Structure 1
């Protein structure tokens, strides 16, 4: 995959701060050391952001930080139009999408294909040889703040995959040590309220990741 986090690699997992809804939160996360920011365009999300605000946030952090547009069961035209308008550099796809759809998006953007733990195995193998698609393992209810059982994933977690699901400053070190993900993604545990980041929690999360050896 064309790397959606173009920073110089760190000795441990990279960091994506998702659910960004304002320029202020984007700038604070980037200054704290985030490698990537997630902008959620799924209409059902409490963290829905408009393409206009996401574009302003993208321009405020510059190209050194990846900007990932998050979509759920949305059409190809909508995904591509929104990602372009918002100046996204990668696209994250949730939902029961066809492989053909994912490949179509991957013709235009690096794709993070989100799988639940129950979907690993054969579903993960589909994308093992596709360089424009990277897997992310997330909880059945994304953004719900419930951690996954990392020990149960030890044998099936794909090499090079990203990890989400209830990660926060107090537990991300354990997740990294067990699964060695390429990137960790946090949302709900870093908020003052849904859609608004707590800068202290963001900084603590980033510090915990940077201090952890895989």
Structure 2
């Protein structure tokens, strides 16, 4: 059986150097965190500079928590984001409003998987499964999630160069998202670890998807 190429997002990007290193390593997207409580938070002006520098070939995904849909849309426009990643429990009307302006990554935890409808193929809303404490570096129990993992969903939570191949083998996510395992300190990436992560994903995909 053949599988689609796994997409790679390097999250918690706070500076231009790390953004360009991720792009050079072959990442499909970078994550720019606007959540007020995050130690990797970036402001709209710095995010805009990064977005313009990496160009349209690399996705610029804004990460939001405890922010209204209006604030999300305002910041997405100011920072030239290509998608938004939401950690809040919005109403279905609010999800639809966001999705009418930008592709949306709706973040859920393991307990949510059996309680929600999976977006239809072609929807502008994508699911991402993350750990209960995003950014904690704690991986999920991937084999236990195999029966419930939605087709087309992304995976986050404790992923790094040493374990991402195991996660891909267990769940075959559409994409993978890494943060803390690639850092020398919060908000500052190790370019060698970023390259190693992307290369590990490509090896897990197999030679036909490189």
Match of 1:56 in 2: 49
Match of 1:189 in 2: 181
Deviation of 1:121 (Å) = 1.8
| Residues 40-79 of structure 1: pairs in structure 2 closer than 5 A | 40-79=33-72
Match of 2:106 in 1: 113
| 1:18 pairs with 2:11 | yes
| Residues 68-147 of structure 1: pairs in structure 2 closer than 5 A | 68-123=61-116, 125-128=117-120, 131-147=123-139
Summarize deviations over 1:52-107 as a string: whole Å, max 9, x none: 11110111110001100000121121100100000000000002222221111111
Query: Whole-Å Cα distance in 1 between the matches of residues 57 and 166 of structure 2?
Result: 28
Query: Whole-Å Cα distance in 1 between the matches of residues 176 and 166 of structure 2?
Result: 12
Where structure 1 has 5 or more consecutive residues not aligned to the other structure, the ranges are 1-9
Among 7, 13, 28, the alignment partner of 1:35 is 28
Match of 1:200 in 2: 192
| 1:170 pairs with 2:162 | yes
| 1:210 pairs with 2:202 | yes
Deviation of 1:16 (Å) = 0.3
Count, aligned residues: 204
Where structure 2 has 5 or more consecutive residues not aligned to the other structure, the ranges are none
Deviation of 1:11 (Å) = 4.8
Moved over 4 A (4+): none
RMSD over equivalenced CA pairs, Å? 1.4
Deviation of 1:129 (Å) = 5.9
Relative to the length of structure 2, the TM-score reads 0.94
Does structure 2 retain, via aligned residues, the 8 Å contact 1:73–1:96? no
Query: Whole-Å Cα distance in 2 between the matches of residues 177 and 78 of structure 1?
Result: 37
Relative to the length of structure 1, the TM-score reads 0.92
Query: Whole-Å Cα distance in 2 between the matches of residues 213 and 205 of structure 1?
Result: 13
